[in-house]
Amino acid sequence: MTGALLIAGTSSDAGKSALVAGLCRWLARRGVRVAPFKAQNMSNNSVVTVDGGEIGRAQAFQARACGLDPSVRFNPVLLKPGADNSSQVVLLGRAVGQVSALSYAARKTLLLDTVLDTLAGLRAEYEVVVCEGAGSPAEINLRAADIANMGLARAAGLPVLVVGDIDRGGVLAHLFGTLALLSPADQALVTGFVVNKFRGDRALLEPGLRQLGALTGRPVLGVLPWREELWLDAEDSLAAVADGVVGRPAAPVGEQWLRVAVVRFPRISNATDVEALACEPGVAVRFVTEPSRLADADLVVLPGSKATVADLAWLRRTGLADAVLAHARAGRGVLGICGGFQMLGARISDAVESGAGVVAGLGLLDVDVEFAPVKTLRRPTGRAMGEPVTGYEIHHGAVVRDGEPTGLVELPDGGTEGVVAGPVLGTHWHGLLENDAFRRALLRWAAERAGRDGFRPAGDVSFAAARAAQLDVLGDLVAEHLDTDAVLRLLAAGPPPGLPVVPPAGPPEVAAALDGAAD
């Protein structure tokens, strides 16, 4: 079997990433050599790959579904927004500069060659490549410079399935409208629809599905049911709702819960770091955006940030900074990760990310941080709290003065990383909480600091197993609720000829320009 297809969505968080992961898992279990691909991703949730670059976390999750290590080839263009109108561009794993929304539109066409070359290389190496679109293909104001949705599909001849989230309501209109806004040549590649997150009796939905098929000439190839246990590795910011509980907390093993408050910065990055804590029974993890939420917290986490200085100013402006300081002075645990770690220090010198120069930190750690033009990307190993640990680093800020006596992580070369200062811990390592033994040691430490004598970790939670179980659930959903025979036909033969055009078929002048350029 050889082939490729593109999963597009009616909106962000419609289910593209999950469906790609499920298809990859299903194909891999059939013995197919399969790889994921997302031409362009916009996310501040990223990981460091085995080839030393940086890609979106969703593509790392999809790689695991395939049984592969993450690679920069799976996400050649990554945009990391640091403000409302600018983003850092990461090309094949390396930061290459900052762009505004307008300047990036002109640059996109120059990136298309890299995207197509990378995809061609994957298709030559793997039997199947499952591609994920970005946002919605019906963003017709951006179509001329698109390299992730129909622009990619047209250039690479990919059949396209469009997935919509029925839990938000209006999914039939979303699916129909997405198709109808595309130009005739783009519509010719859209071969079917998938409904995601369905709850209830499918018989009630069937008349609508049949009518959608009659109106568009395209079938609904699957209705994937809602599964509440699918929450790990959620990349889209909509999944991390402000002041929302993370995951599905299980009842405590001991007599007490441990309450974790995670500050949800406006430019939060790698928010998924705390998901491992939420896998533990009796640990209630909540994203917070205002000070009262810290009043009853046992452990406060300051996660990563793509705009460290700006988010530190927000922390002070909202009163959360004072609440964090009060929490630490009461002797209860505070954990800073990457940007959050930098905020806990004495000073931040930033001429790179914000250009703000020297800024005072919260002063809970006696360290100074200076931002460097070249980003640190690595996957280190060491020992923390007596346990072996691995992690990954993605940061411009580096510790240039460390007056604290104790490092959090002992490194193989005899050095240390991070800081332990009474109730305050800091580290640049993402993924540290995914180390099971360390995570349990941290929870015991936090419980002791908070006086939670009735809390105890379960002792048998494997984060890797929890992630694998979610991938298997996604693979099962595809196998049981998707027309997999139709998917295999699309992979083998591409989009069928003669699919009808649904009016208005995009603005006439745009459609004509696009179709003329393609000809």
**Residue 428 and residue 416: Cα distance in Å, rounded?**
12
Q: Is 165 exposed, middle or buried (0-12, 13-18, 19+ CB in 10 A)?
A: buried
Tell me the catalytic residues: 338, 430
Order of all β-strands in the sheet with 77-83:
40-42, 77-83, 86-91, 94-100
- What is the rounded distance in angstroms from the CA atom of residue 91 to the CA atom of residue 54? 9
Distance CA 359, CA 350 (A): 8
Q: Which positions ≥6 away from 88 have C-beta within 8 Å?
A: 79, 80, 82, 95, 97, 98, 306
Contact (CB, 8 A) for 193 and 219 = yes
Show the beta-strand stretches assigned E in 392-476. Answer: 393-402, 409-410, 416-417, 419-421, 424-427
Tokens of 498: 């003669």
Write down the residue that tokens 């990055």 correspond to.
269
273 by Cβ neighbours in 10 Å (0-12 / 13-18 / 19+) ranks as: buried
Q: Are 55 and 35 in contact (CB under 8 A)?
A: no
Per the document, the length of the chain is 519
Q: How many CB atoms lie within 10 A of CB 177?
A: 16
How far, in Å, CA of 115 to CA of 314, rounded? 37
According to DSSP, the residues that pair with 337 across neighbouring strands are 427
Which residue bears the tokens 């595309």? 182
Residue with tokens 């061609």: 120
CB 390 within 8 A of CB 430: no
**Whole-angstrom distance, CA of residue 339 vs CA of residue 344:** 9
DSSP characters for 92-103?
A: TTEEEEEEEHHH
Buried b (16+ CB within 10 A) or exposed e, 383-412: ebbeeebebbbbbbbebeebebeebbbbee
Cis? peptide before 457, omega within 30° of 0: no
Which backbone phi and psi does 184 adopt, to 5 degrees? Answer: -55, -40
